[in-house]
């Protein structure tokens, strides 16, 4: 899937479809994500909450 980046203020934004967030079990209203770059590949994963 190809996505386009959008300018927002002083940053660039990558919009993620709801279906992708559901596959990753991410609720953007409450969850945080961790970004990692490895071999020029951006990885996005949900930060697990520790209770």
Residue 17: which CATH number? 2.10.260
pTM higher than 0.85 for the full model?
Answer: no
Would you say 43 and 24 are in contact if contact means Cβ atoms under 8 Å apart? no
pLDDT, tens digit (0-9, with 9 covering 90-100), for 6-34: 999 999 999 999 999 999 999 999 999 99
**What length is written for the chain?**
51
Residue whose C-alpha is closest to residue 45's, from 30, 29, 25: 25
24 is in which domain, residue-wise?
5-46
CA angle, 51 then 16 then 33, to 5°: 25
User: Is the residue at 13 inside a domain?
Assistant: yes
User: Is the residue at 51 inside a domain?
Assistant: no
Tally of domains in the chain = 1
């Amino acid at each position: 899937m190809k996505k386009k980046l959008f300018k927002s203020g002083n940053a660039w934004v990558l919009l993620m479809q709801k279906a992708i967030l559901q596959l990753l079990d991410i609720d953007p209203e409450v969850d945080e994500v961790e970004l990692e770059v490895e071999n020029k590949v951006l990885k996005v994963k949900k930060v697990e909450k520790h209770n």
